Amino acid sequence: MQRSRIAAAWEVQFAALAAIWGSSFLFIKVLDRHWSAIWVSFGRVALGAAVLVVLLLVRRERLPGDRWGWIHCAVAAVLFNAVPWTLLAYGEQHTSSIVAGLWNATTPLWVLLVSLAAFGEQRPGRTRVLGLITGFAGVALLLGPWRGFGGGQAIGDVACAGAALCYGFAFPYTRRHLSGRPESGVALSACQLLCATAMLALFMPFARAPTGPIGLDGAASLLALGALGSGVAFAINYSLVRSRGATAASTVTYLIPVFSTLLGATVLGETLHWNEPAGAVLLLLGIAITQDRVRAFSAARQERSARPDFQPDPEPQPASSARPAARL
């Protein structure tokens, strides 16, 4: 009973994390109606930094105390926050939140390419090459070049792709320079967002200032984007990594575009073309291949079926003897 409760708690946290991060593209789109891209990015990092600092005080932890800790956090802030979050906010001024969320899902492909090209990791095998080809074929299908790129959509695509590329540099850099530090993930993230806040504050005088109040929808979006997306979501992610491991926690990548697509289509009324979900499926399949998840899933099923106590799933019951379906 206790084990089932723990599993259920993990599943709830996992779904909540995917929903929070997947809804970020909706909130960016709403804030874009009121603020310039730099203001959206600054509000997000400043509020997120405040939440994490409060969390640090509650946990009685400290920020890094050495110079190199702050330097590495500052570099991570450029690659993880200041630049990509500004690019996403700018990109969504020219393209839909659906497309922005799907571009964000290409991050694992960029991480692999950057790790191979810039950080000298081992050469990819045939499986990873196949995954990369499959993933970028999905990107091409997702973009739908046969429809053209009118109305500034190409600018939005380039900005969103640039944000994903930044993440491609950020993850290997963080793994190399920050993952082995003694501070907790909360402390390092708080330091990172504080650095990003200071960086973006330097550009605020040159950005287009708001011309009026952002209204209830803008305030709610800012609160959700900063406090939830950059603060609470990180605490949930940290809990998942501790309880289930980094590999299991990273699979949230596969659910984020599902939430961003559903919210963009239902809440914002954005047009969903057939090639976008089809390209997303092909993209996520390519990511799964590069991470050997397809092979791991197949091996797990074979191992499970080889156990002496394995019982195959029962055959479907006839409709006359099946239990009545629950009302929705």
Q: What is the pLDDT of residue 68?
A: 93
Q: What is the pLDDT of residue 86?
A: 96
Query: With a cut of 50, which residues of the chain have pLDDT below it?
Result: 4, 297, 304, 309-328
Q: What is the pLDDT of residue 312?
A: 44
Q: What is the pLDDT of residue 307?
A: 52
Q: What is the pLDDT of residue 36?
A: 93
Take residue 77 and report the two structure tokens written for it. Answer: 């802030």
Q: What is the pLDDT of residue 324?
A: 32
pLDDT, tens only, 148-202 = 666 678 899 899 999 999 988 988 888 888 878 888 888 988 999 999 999 999 9
Q: Please state the pTM of the whole predicted model.
A: 0.81
